[in-house]
Structure 1
């Protein structure tokens, strides 16, 4: 009986085992059939059409538009995805070695799918639970993912995406060579900070083209591919350095790097030269914004060979501009140095009684102009609701010359904070062409989007006076004509009495020549010269110099009450350096498609006719040289020690709202402006706000920097041509002349008259 019982149990056990074996085999077959069926359905397009070999052979990548300076140096990009493709021969060998050693050591041996690597992953990862085994993904598989992305499906998303990538990878390997695959991969792979492609990453993190990066820099970038946020070298320096060293060790493991080199590069400091190509950051953001605006209208007129319109963000255009990269850097540095100090003086002068804190009318007006307030009103919110909303404290980014901060403050407090800042505009052009060499539209594009070159019109103050004197000389006035300093009240203009800044009492019996009057910016004489020449002739003269806007037909025109765009003003002053011909500032020289074919080119816009005679031009230059050597701009010599040949003119407007300086050297015309964005806020005193103190120092510091760099010798060492003998003779007279006894006897200190 016992034997019979054991036999029965044995039979049952064998039957059970057979059932489990059959069941297991059935399950295995079902799983295999499922996978095969899923694979076939994916292959046939059940989960989306897969790219054919023909499609893969003509891959079109979205490429960033590059903006280059006059020497083809990259200054910015326009993009949705920051991608900048390069050729295989541009990749240094150590970059390829680092990539293969780290991401796909059998790259040259497989056909897109590394079966040996997959088996290793299966055994180590799934059976031995060794998570260091990796994922078995090849460079070609990663390329497939980079090119076509992944989709979410209701079930088995990862599996479906992996199958799709494996099919695409196989086709890629059949279409492209290994070098071409590496090129495609390195041009599409995502790096840290929303950067696509190795060239863009190299320029962003090291300010180098990929062809110039070193071994440890290449290893750093390759290291980020494992997790580009986690190993971002800008945010996580030590973590990135550790990952870099893992890549270097991999290079040693696969024979791409010696152990001695490993020790050397592993100990190197991770030094970044980070350059953001964010539209709000980086070099010349106001210039790039203006170029972008111009490109939008230019591209509307152009078509691709297939008849489609160009896309600024995707078609990889190459925009060549007139900007000088290095000169722009120096200009921005000069601006920041001066504006930091001037802002501190500006706030100190007001103390606790600053208008941005105490002037309720000004603050209320500024609040009402806020976009969000206008939006609240459109939604029908009451004044109290709007006020309550503006008082809610939030984390806000605040600009500061000492360094930006984030504070929890209300919208009103944020407005007051930014309301106090002085702003600036600075433009330098090549006077013979109008080519823009430097362009500063404001102090910081992130916080102050308003461009004081392309958008702003401000009163130009005494910078208008050279135009009055130009009209006078052009219409036959002798440069040695004398005018009295005495004040005159013009009864037909509301008893307006122009006066001179700097002294309350002046000797009414002293007379100045035109040169003395201009170099010392004498208001009373400027108005008298305007009266003698006539307002219509002055306006005509200004129009010939390229300023076409309507000017006020009143005697205060001589003192610069006209509001003129800085760009137009620079073009007009360039005529004194360009044989009397005005120029228009221009920015773009040519546009190429991504293959280097020129699709548009642009020439300088120079006035066909001279705005004035060469005699007039030389006389005015001599007068403006005197302004620098002996007049209101003499601190260029005394304070800043500039020995360059410079002609110039300072300018200050009513109530010290605007400070100006025009700096002319033989090969560069530069104008700087300083003031507050809000017209109601001026400088506390003329001493602080006058152009010689507020605007001139930016030019001075800029030229100090230019002088220290031999690259700019053609500008800094250029000489004005010697004026003709007639000009020298006509200017050869005493600067001042005092009235004789009988003339003084009958001359009243204060005179009233009608302005003719």
Structure 2
């Protein structure tokens, strides 16, 4: 062996092939790891590891289409429960110009990708966003529907973008391209209450989506970039520039010729702005307010019992209500017809009243009422949240404005040089009304008018407001006496002056003496007779029977309740009086027939709540007494002025200082109650002639019933309807003959009474009606 072989050891060089393989292995490993990482990132995002994601049900039912619908008993779509007011359109309603402009401006490769555009995404990443955004139409829809990107943190924005991608891909799996386009345009908020393309077409151009021109289409698509910055109302110059950019894009992608675009760009933007209310009808909001409360309470209890959750705004429910759309319209028209007239009288009466619209108040208390109303406004709360002091806010409210929006019966009016405090004082003059009509046989409510305009007065006067009831409470005293002491309409009671303790009730005209039978006393609303009756029965039995008749409001344990010192609701009074027309069986008034889920499965079905309160003889005795009110008493205008000759039992009511006017009208198949007054009880007519229930509330009932009777067969309410009288009534009542039932002389002798003085009267008792009805007046201002 040579010395060289022994002493020299050659070092082996690494193989080039081995090095290349190793590098390829690492590269493939990194690539696969990257792919796996991306997969795991998407998988984790879709499964909520990086935050909550919409479930499959939410993806398949975006909230554009899942508002719950309210249907009337005659099959009319009355309204919807929706998070935002919008009118969805279908793809066939979209003009081709609109679709072309959308693709040219927002996503030209929309038909080619599956929710994410790789080319646009790569371009945006490599340019750092300098060459434009990468969001596809589907991603923008995903962001609108399910994700919110409001964070300034880069990491959080990245997470939101991942969520947006995942949702976009899921949307592409479930919807066609056409469906995605129409969902996007239906969902977009164009501001000014223009939610979706249809309302945007109405708000900005007073047209429909299907009739949009090329220029109008380009303008609305331009707004997608930023509906405020490129708003044609707020920033017309910037809006026109962006509209022309859209038109240029349409030329670039061959949707338009250069000549067409040039002609379009030469045209100015013509705006025809329309106001869109946030609610479909000012009247409907009142019953809708109560309907929502009832449904949500029911769902709350259902969840406790079954664990099943329902969302009124996202589950696409069908709500079938008892309201009849035709009768509802008649009720609304009746309220408007009468209040429009007496409102003018009210304004005229207070024109020279320095304390208007109040009587008998100090200036200090008057200002306190106005300032309390001020604190209920959104404007006040907004300034308070900004840290303004009371003095600064009050100064702002007293500062004249260029334009203040006020309510009038002739429509919206804008007053110049009026302060917000002036507006509060003005709205304190406005007469309000509450009206409910129901079928006494099954408890279904046919009409519900809770107020005159929800946009201005967000307070329901059917079930939410409790007002002093005056003489409409008297039937509770009479039915207690008849039920407890076996009285008949023919029993007589002294009309001599009467007192119990410190209470000395007085008759309206100051006339006393002789006796009156119950029929006569209720017809003329004689206070002394009613007071004697409650003294005989006791206060608690009267309260108890009122409770059994459905009154849930607190009734004071005081003899003064006989003349109506309690504060009750229209809902309670109508339900109670319906018992008399139903043979003594109380049925709780009901708004809901049934609720179905989106598949048609019944969630809630109508089950009437009933109980027998008095027997049929006592019930008919009350009908007989209250027919006397209509035929000869304080409700006689039903006959003499409005010519309604059907069988009607009724009761009028007027409270202290004419603050509240009431009328309850009972027919065999329809019972209707009406209340009229101002939000504050200190605001009222000065004279009883104008402020009594017969003058303020009865006419509304009469107008309504005239409309109902005109189409009576459709509603099952006709002038031929008769109250059902027990067959053996003659034997049960201790009266000489049936002819005596409609005799208005006293059995103990005749009593000369002047009907012209037969008006309601409630004694000015200490403590009664001492506080204004605060908290009821929510007034919105547009500055």
Question: Could you tell me the TM-score, scaled by structure 2's length?
Answer: 0.67
Distance 1:305 1:662 in 2: 39
Contact 1:651-1:691 at 8 Å conserved across structures = yes
Structure 1 pair 67–223 and aligned structure 2 pair: CA distance change class (3 A) = farther
Q: Shift of residue 202 of structure 1? A: 11
Q: Shift of residue 165 of structure 1? A: 9.4
Contact 2:111-2:177 at 8 Å conserved across structures = no
Structure 1 pair 715–546 and aligned structure 2 pair: CA distance change class (3 A) = same
Contact 1:570-1:669 at 8 Å conserved across structures = yes
Contact 2:193-2:278 at 8 Å conserved across structures = no
Distance 2:209 2:370 in 1: 52
Q: Shift of residue 427 of structure 1? A: 1.5
Contact 1:665-1:718 at 8 Å conserved across structures = no
Q: Which residue, out of 75, 79, 94, partners 1:76?
A: 79
Distance 1:709 1:273 in 2: 36
Secondary structure (helix, strand or coil) at the match of 1:626 reads: helix
Structure 1 range deviating more: 652-661 or 185-194: 185-194
Match of 1:496 in 2: 504
Alignment of 1:632-643 (within 5 A): 632-643=634-645
Structure 1 pair 558–383 and aligned structure 2 pair: CA distance change class (3 A) = same
Contact 1:425-1:674 at 8 Å conserved across structures = yes
Match of 2:341 in 1: 341
Structure 1 range deviating more: 459-468 or 445-454: 445-454
Structure 1 pair 85–200 and aligned structure 2 pair: CA distance change class (3 A) = same
Distance 1:447 1:612 in 2: 42
Give the gaps of 5 or more residues in structure 2.
Answer: 1-34, 48-52, 120-132, 155-159, 256-270, 731-735, 751-783
Q: Which residue, out of 560, 563, 568, partners 2:567?
A: 563
Match of 2:649 in 1: 647
Alignment of 1:423-572 (within 5 A): 423-474=432-483, 475-484=485-494, 486-490=495-499, 492-494=500-502, 496-499=504-507, 501=508, 503-505=509-511, 508-509=513-514, 511-572=515-576
Secondary structure (helix, strand or coil) at the match of 2:716 reads: helix
Structure 1 pair 497–192 and aligned structure 2 pair: CA distance change class (3 A) = closer
Contact 1:433-1:583 at 8 Å conserved across structures = yes
Match of 2:409 in 1: 401
Contact 2:189-2:195 at 8 Å conserved across structures = yes
Give the alignment's Cα RMSD to 1 decimal: 5.7
Over residues 658-684 of structure 1, what are the superposed CA-to-partner deviations in whole Å (9 max), with x where a residue is unaligned? 110001122222111112222223321
Distance 1:166 1:535 in 2: 71
Secondary structure (helix, strand or coil) at the match of 2:676 reads: strand
Structure 1 pair 523–712 and aligned structure 2 pair: CA distance change class (3 A) = farther
Match of 2:625 in 1: 623
Structure 1 pair 569–232 and aligned structure 2 pair: CA distance change class (3 A) = farther
Structure 1 pair 108–589 and aligned structure 2 pair: CA distance change class (3 A) = farther
Secondary structure (helix, strand or coil) at the match of 1:736 reads: coil
Q: Shift of residue 542 of structure 1? A: 2.3
Structure 1 pair 314–634 and aligned structure 2 pair: CA distance change class (3 A) = same
Secondary structure (helix, strand or coil) at the match of 2:672 reads: strand
Distance 2:673 2:405 in 1: 31
Number of aligned residues: 652
Q: Shift of residue 285 of structure 1? A: 1.1
Match of 2:63 in 1: 62
Contact 1:479-1:731 at 8 Å conserved across structures = no
Give the gaps of 5 or more residues in structure 1.
Answer: 1-39, 119-134, 156-160, 255-269, 742-756
Match of 2:663 in 1: 661
Alignment of 1:687-698 (within 5 A): 687-698=689-700
Q: Shift of residue 730 of structure 1? A: 5.2
Structure 1 range deviating more: 57-66 or 301-310: 301-310
Structure 1 pair 151–477 and aligned structure 2 pair: CA distance change class (3 A) = closer
Secondary structure (helix, strand or coil) at the match of 2:437 reads: strand
Secondary structure (helix, strand or coil) at the match of 2:530 reads: helix
Secondary structure (helix, strand or coil) at the match of 2:639 reads: helix
Secondary structure (helix, strand or coil) at the match of 2:461 reads: coil
Structure 1 pair 528–628 and aligned structure 2 pair: CA distance change class (3 A) = same
Match of 2:770 in 1: none
Q: Shift of residue 78 of structure 1? A: 3.7
Distance 1:494 1:404 in 2: 51
Structure 1 range deviating more: 298-307 or 99-108: 99-108
Match of 1:703 in 2: 705
Question: Could you tell me the TM-score, scaled by structure 1's length?
Answer: 0.69
Structure 1 pair 532–589 and aligned structure 2 pair: CA distance change class (3 A) = same
Secondary structure (helix, strand or coil) at the match of 1:673 reads: strand
Secondary structure (helix, strand or coil) at the match of 1:397 reads: strand
Distance 1:422 1:282 in 2: 16
Structure 1 pair 164–450 and aligned structure 2 pair: CA distance change class (3 A) = closer
Match of 1:22 in 2: none
Q: Shift of residue 628 of structure 1? A: 1.9
Distance 1:593 1:718 in 2: 41
Distance 1:77 1:144 in 2: 24
Distance 1:668 1:627 in 2: 17
Contact 2:675-2:697 at 8 Å conserved across structures = yes
Q: Shift of residue 360 of structure 1? A: 0.6
Distance 2:502 2:719 in 1: 50
Q: Shift of residue 574 of structure 1? A: 1.2
Q: Shift of residue 361 of structure 1? A: 3.7
Contact 2:492-2:748 at 8 Å conserved across structures = no
Match of 1:363 in 2: 366
Contact 2:647-2:723 at 8 Å conserved across structures = no
Distance 1:438 1:660 in 2: 17
Contact 2:201-2:209 at 8 Å conserved across structures = no
Q: Shift of residue 614 of structure 1? A: 0.6
Structure 1 range deviating more: 673-682 or 382-391: 382-391
Alignment of 1:659-738 (within 5 A): 659-709=661-711, 712-717=714-719, 719-724=721-726, 726-727=728-729, 731-733=738-740, 734-737=743-746
Structure 1 pair 194–309 and aligned structure 2 pair: CA distance change class (3 A) = farther
Structure 1 pair 545–390 and aligned structure 2 pair: CA distance change class (3 A) = same
Distance 2:601 2:620 in 1: 44
Contact 2:493-2:517 at 8 Å conserved across structures = yes
The yes-or-no answer on 1:111 pairing with 2:112 is yes
Q: Shift of residue 695 of structure 1? A: 0.7
Contact 1:656-1:684 at 8 Å conserved across structures = yes
